[in-house]
Amino acid sequence: NAGVTQTPKFQVLKTGQSMTLQCAQDMNHNSMYWYRQDPGMGLRLIYYSASEGTTDKGEVPNGYNVSRLNKREFSLRLESAAPSQTSVYFCASSRLLAAQETQYFGPGTRLLVL
């Protein structure tokens, strides 16, 4: 089992460009998450999907959109990238949406917006 996979691993964008970060999990998990990690800020939740067909905003959703394509895949889109979106993005999944569930993370996407 690959667990949680993310593509791409690295990306450089110019301000105003758009891109989609892809995430897939093969653990048959119901819930999936997108986080960003910035120095000194910890992991902050951007969007999450409790189950296939549902998505909800997290702590920092502005400038992002998501799609839960099916149970396995959850994508994050930046419509018009800004330098403030330079960060490391992690996708995660868990069996259920519950505070006591372990979250499993993908390897991350390092994004630089110039």
Partner 1 sequence: RKEVEQDPGPFNVPEGATVAFNCTYSNSASQSFFWYRQDCRKEPKLLMSVYSSGNEDGRFTAQLNRASQYISLLIRDSKLSDSATYLCVVGYSSASKIIFGSGTRLSIRP
25 near 104, Cβ under 8 Å?
A: yes
Is 14 or 39 the residue whose CB approaches partner 1 more closely? 39
Nearer to partner 1, 82 or 98 (CB): 98
- Least distance in Å: CB of 71 to partner 1? 18
The Cα angle at residue 47 between residues 62 and 83, in degrees rounded to 5: 40
Q: CA triplet 35, 83, 36: central angle to 5 degrees?
A: 5
Q: Which stretch binds partner 1 (CB under 8 A): 16-24, 62-70, 71-79, 94-102?
A: 94-102
Question: Which of the residues 13 through 42 are near partner 1 (CB under 8 A)?
Answer: 35, 40-42
| Single residue of 49, 87, 90, 111 touching partner 1 by CB under 8 A | 90
- Per CB under 8 A, the list member of 12, 98, 112, 114 interacting with partner 1 is 98
Q: Is 103 in the site for partner 1 (CB under 8 A)?
A: yes
Tell me which residues touch partner 1 (CB under 8 A): 35, 40-45, 50, 90, 97-100, 102-103, 105-108
